[in-house]
């Protein structure tokens, strides 16, 4: 719905606040402030938010644009992390190799699983994506060479042409924010391109899109693989940040939390996933400090959001999608 | 690999499959009748185990405790349907996923607050403790046989209810043509209430029966839930017969795979790579089986067109 009348001031304010650039700039600002004021915790928190925002952003792309409710997004995320671990054991630590490999790892997992899951619709799709993600979880739990259930530490922080450029947490934070910005820009372009239009058309009316001569299956599979690749990047960054990789990165609760982030922020816009991720990370951090049962609070929040049908926060504030 | 060991593992697989069936049966009907994604079904399994364990501890008798636990699970199912789930049935899948995921978080942490994160005790009732010699040299725990028998009894009961009673007829019709059933004047919401609460009780029963074998802890529902999904995908949404066949297959494939994959691999590759790859392949077995079913029958082994058209 585009309107020709100029937007009112509050609507323009909301548009500004919910713009993806604003969210990314806010994260960058927190990192910069943390760097100047020597607040390591701010930097760590902003990095974590940027990484989860990256994962949520990719899920928001398939979920919002493609209408595909994937409940297995933790799998490519975890695979990205394992790519860092396994490549590190093999002596590969250069960021220019690790990131493409992590993307490839996620996307290659999505190729067969997505091709199978996309043969089905609705409830089946949700259950199958969840099942394949759980398969990934159990496979990595069984890999005793890479720590099995317990996981193991990565060989060391990533490098650039052998230089230990990302040794400090601040440098890693900038890397995460840079990848987030690049992925946002890429997905923004993809949404505006013909590919994005076909994806949305298939979401709204599959039969008509197919009748127009577009291959709905191929478009969806491509979107699914791109999203998984970006989730792989997020997982690789998570491995770099914590320095530790274990199957719990792929726990299905993480898939659920990513969906929560996307829906909380509004799935129709890319920025929704960013905002949702930042909100959930903050809730986790501050509720988690108050009580070990913070998930109880998150669960109540989710139920309250669903119960009041206030799924789209920016829409509540007066901005139309 | 001796014959005895193989038999023991087959029985273990059956027992696991029966537990999966009890969980999946209710879930597949809820999916089928209302096209409703209930992630919180694993929670009902977990809470059923906790309710029974508490009731057994309070009464000192397993039978009485089980009855109280089942009644409580049924009441809880009714309350949850009334408070939350009936408001979700007309929403889209995404909101159902979100809300039932919220229920999981609240219930899991709620149980942790009340009972603590550590497993609680639920022991095998006196009368069924110990093992019995099925064959010379084959000792098998009686309780596991009881689990298999009671699961098969429930399967028979469900078969009777679904094929021989009026309400079963409505459930069957509702799972394939809900709009038509509704148009014929059946209150499909009340049908759903019945199916949902009954499913919750079956899940609770599964939790209570599995409790003495596995451990009663807050996350016990998670694994079972996802395996129940695999069962339903293989068996076909809305089909109890499909759920029974698929759960026994999944139970057997998973148990036998874990028991023998490493040994079988050793026939082809050397010992150390078999030890490495065996567990990984075994844990993939049921998912690969699911993938194979999806390639040939995308809507599962036992149902027709429902999943391929609409939503």
- Give the A:B interface size as CB pairs under 8 Å: 133
What per-residue confidence (pLDDT) applies to A321?
40
- What average pLDDT score do residues B140-163 get? 89
Instruction: Using CB atoms, pick whichever of B97, B106, B279 lies closest to residue A259.
Output: B97
> Are the C-beta atoms of A24 and A57 separated by less than 8 Å?
no
Of B95, B109, B280, the CB nearest to A306: B95
- The whole-angstrom separation of Cα B73 and Cα B206 is 11
Contact A79, A235 (CB under 8 A): yes
The predicted pLDDT at position A319 comes to 46
Going by pLDDT thresholds of 50, 70 and 90, the confidence category of residue B1 is low
Residue A89 has pLDDT above 90, yes or no: no
pLDDT band at A131, cuts 50/70/90?
Answer: confident
Confidence bin at B303 (pLDDT 50/70/90): low
The pLDDT, as a whole number, for residue A309 is 61
Pair of tokens at residue A208: 């008509």
- Position B49 confidence tier, pLDDT thresholds 50, 70, 90: very high
Q: Shortest CB distance from B226 goes to which of A130, A293, A296?
A: A130
Distance between CA atoms of A164 and A125, rounded to whole angstroms? Answer: 43
Q: Judge: A128–B233 Cβ closer than 8 Å, yes or no.
A: yes
Query: End-to-end CA distance of chain B, in Å?
Result: 47
Rounded to a whole number, what is the distance in Å from the CA of A264 to chain B's nearest CA?
10
- pLDDT tens for B155-174 read 999 888 888 888 888 887 87
As a whole number, mean pLDDT of residues B108-130 equals 85
Q: From residue B294, how far is each of A70, A71, A74, A285, B233 by CA, in Å?
A: 17, 18, 22, 41, 8
Mean pLDDT of chain B: 85
Grouping H, G, I as helix, E, B as strand and the rest as coil, residue B306 is: coil
pLDDT given at position A186? 93
Confidence of residue A77 (pLDDT cuts 50, 70, 90): very high
Q: What is the pLDDT of residue B22?
A: 92
Contact with chain B for residue A131, Cβ under 8 A? yes
Q: What is the structure's pLDDT at B87? A: 80
Comparing A14-23, A172-181, B184-193, the range with the smallest average pLDDT is A14-23
Q: Which of B95, B87, B83 is nearest to B37 (CA)?
A: B95
For position A222, what pLDDT does the model report?
94
Q: What is the pLDDT of residues B218-254, one digit of tens each?
A: 888 888 898 998 998 898 887 888 889 999 999 999 9
SS3 content of chain B, % helix, strand, coil (to 5): 75, 5, 20
Q: Tell me the mean pLDDT in the region B54-69.
A: 89
Highest mean pLDDT among A150-164, A208-222, B19-33: A208-222
Between B172 and A247, the more confident residue is A247
Q: How far is the C-alpha of B254 from the C-alpha of A163, rounded, in Å? A: 47
Q: Which of the listed ranges A141-150, A252-261, A288-297, B116-125 does the model predict with the highest average pLDDT?
A: A252-261
H or E, element range at A52: helix A40-60
Residue B116 confidence (pLDDT):
86
DSSP A67-114: ----S-THHHHHHHHHHHHHHHHTT--BHHHHHHHHHHHHHHHHHHHH
B contacts of A123 (beta carbons < 8 Å): 31, 35, 37, 93, 237, 307, 311
Instruction: Work out the minimum CA distance from A306 to partner chain B, whole angstroms.
Output: 6
The predicted pLDDT at position B185 comes to 87
Interface predicted TM-score (ipTM)? 0.84
* Percent above pLDDT 90 for chain A: 31
* φ/ψ bin of A151: left (φ > 0), alpha (ψ from -120 to 50), beta (otherwise): left
Is residue B146 within 8 Å of B125, Cβ to Cβ?
A: no
Residues in chain A with CB shorter than 8 Å from the CB of B279 are 142, 144
Facing residue for B94 by CB, picked from A131, A142, A263 = A263
The rounded distance, in Å, linking the Cα atoms of A248 and A253 is 9
* Interchain proximity A119–B108, CB inside 8 Å: no
* Sign of the torsion formed by the C-alpha atoms of A118, A119, A121 and A127: negative
> What's the longest Cα–Cα distance across chain A?
62
Contacts of B34 in chain A (CB under 8 A): none
Burial class (CB in 10 A: 0-12, 13-18, 19+), B35: buried
Contact assessment for residue A305 and residue A260, using Cβ atoms and an 8 Å cutoff: no
Which candidate in A205, A267, A291, A302 is best for mutational testing of the B interface (most B CBs within 10 A)? A302
Which residue of A82, A303, A310 to mutate against B (max B Cβ within 10 Å)?
A: A303
Instruction: Check whether B3 has a pLDDT greater than 90.
Output: no
Q: What SS3 state is found at B114?
A: helix
- Is the pTM higher than 0.90? The answer reads no
Of A124, A293, A306, Cβ closest to residue B102: A306
Q: What is the pLDDT of residue A316?
A: 47
Chain B positions in Cβ-Cβ contact with residue A119 (cut-off 8 Å): 294, 298
- State pLDDT tens for residues A98-129: 899 999 999 999 999 999 889 888 788 888 89
* Beta-carbon separation of A69 and B233 below 8 A: no
Point out the least confidently predicted range of A2-16, A18-32, A87-101, A125-139. Answer: A2-16
Q: What percent of chain B has pLDDT over 70?
A: 97
pLDDT at A1 over 70: no
pLDDT given for residue A5 in this prediction: 63
Q: Given a cut of 70, is residue B308 above it in pLDDT?
A: no
Rounded average pLDDT over A284-297:
85
A37, containing H or E segment: none
């Amino acid at each position: 719905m585009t309107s020709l009348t100029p937007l009112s001031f509050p609507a323009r304010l909301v548009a500004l606040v919910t713009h993806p650039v604003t969210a990314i700039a806010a994260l960058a600002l927190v990192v910069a402030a943390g760097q100047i004021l020597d607040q390591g915790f701010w930097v760590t928190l902003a990095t974590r938010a940027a990484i989860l925002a990256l994962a949520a952003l990719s899920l928001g792309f398939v979920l919002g644009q493609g209408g595909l409710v994937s409940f297995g997004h933790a799998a490519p995320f975890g695979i990205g992390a394992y790519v860092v671990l396994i490549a590190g054991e093999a002596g590969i630590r250069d960021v220019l190799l690790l990131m493409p490999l992590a993307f490839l790892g996620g996307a290659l997992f999505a190729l067969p699983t997505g091709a199978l899951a996309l043969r089905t619709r609705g409830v089946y799709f949700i259950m199958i994506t969840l099942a394949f993600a759980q398969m990934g979880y159990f496979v990595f739990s069984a890999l005793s060479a890479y720590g099995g259930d317990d996981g193991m530490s990565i060989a060391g922080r990533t490098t650039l042409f052998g230089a230990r450029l990302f040794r400090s947490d601040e440098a890693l934070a900038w890397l995460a924010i840079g990848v987030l910005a690049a992925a946002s820009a890429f997905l923004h372009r993809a949404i505006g391109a013909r590919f994005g239009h076909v994806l949305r058309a298939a979401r709204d009316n599959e039969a008509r899109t197919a009748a127009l001569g577009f291959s709905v299956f191929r478009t969806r599979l491509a979107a699914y693989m791109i999203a998984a690749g970006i989730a792989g990047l997020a997982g690789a960054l998570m491995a770099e940040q914590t320095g530790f990789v274990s199957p719990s990165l792929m726990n299905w609760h993480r898939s659920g939390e990513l969906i929560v982030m996307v829906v909380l922020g509004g799935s129709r816009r890319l920025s929704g996933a960013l905002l949702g991720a930042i909100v959930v990370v903050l809730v986790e951090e501050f509720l988690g400090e108050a009580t070990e049962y913070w998930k109880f609070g998150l669960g109540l929040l989710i139920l309250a959001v669903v119960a009041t049908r206030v799924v789209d926060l920016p829409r509540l504030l007066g901005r139309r999608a | 690999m001796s014959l005895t060991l193989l038999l023991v593992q087959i029985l273990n697989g059956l027992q696991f499959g029966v537990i999966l069936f009890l969980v999946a049966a209710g879930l597949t009907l809820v999916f089928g009748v209302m096209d409703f994604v209930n992630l919180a079904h694993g929670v009902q399994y977990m809470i059923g185990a906790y309710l029974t364990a508490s009731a057994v501890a309070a009464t000192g008798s397993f039978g009485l405790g089980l009855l109280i636990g089942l009644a409580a699970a049924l009441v809880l199912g009714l309350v949850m349907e009334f408070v939350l789930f009936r408001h979700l049935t007309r929403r889209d899948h995404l909101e159902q996923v979100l809300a039932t995921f919220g229920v999981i978080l609240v219930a899991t942490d709620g149980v942790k607050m009340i009972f603590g994160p550590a497993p609680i005790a639920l022991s095998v009732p006196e009368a069924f403790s110990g093992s019995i010699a099925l064959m010379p040299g084959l000792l098998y725990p009686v309780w596991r046989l009881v689990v298999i028998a009671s699961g098969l009894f429930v399967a028979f009961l469900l078969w009777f209810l679904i094929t021989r009673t009026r309400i079963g007829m409505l459930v069957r019709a509702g799972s394939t043509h809900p709009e038509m059933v509704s148009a014929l004047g059946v209150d499909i919401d009340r049908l759903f209430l019945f199916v949902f609460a009954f499913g919750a009780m079956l899940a609770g029963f599964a939790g209570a029966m599995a409790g003495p074998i596995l451990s009663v802890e807050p996350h016990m529902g998670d694994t079972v839930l996802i395996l129940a999904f695999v069962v339903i995908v293989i068996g076909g949404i809305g089909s109890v017969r499909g759920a029974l066949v698929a759960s026994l297959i999944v139970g057997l494939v998973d148990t036998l795979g874990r028991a023998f994959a490493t040994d079988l691999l050793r026939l082809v590759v050397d010992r150390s790579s078999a030890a490495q790859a065996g567990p990984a392949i075994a844990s993939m077995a049921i998912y690969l089986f699911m993938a194979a079913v999806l390639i040939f029958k995308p809507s599962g082994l036992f149902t027709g067109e429902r999943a391929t058209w609409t939503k």
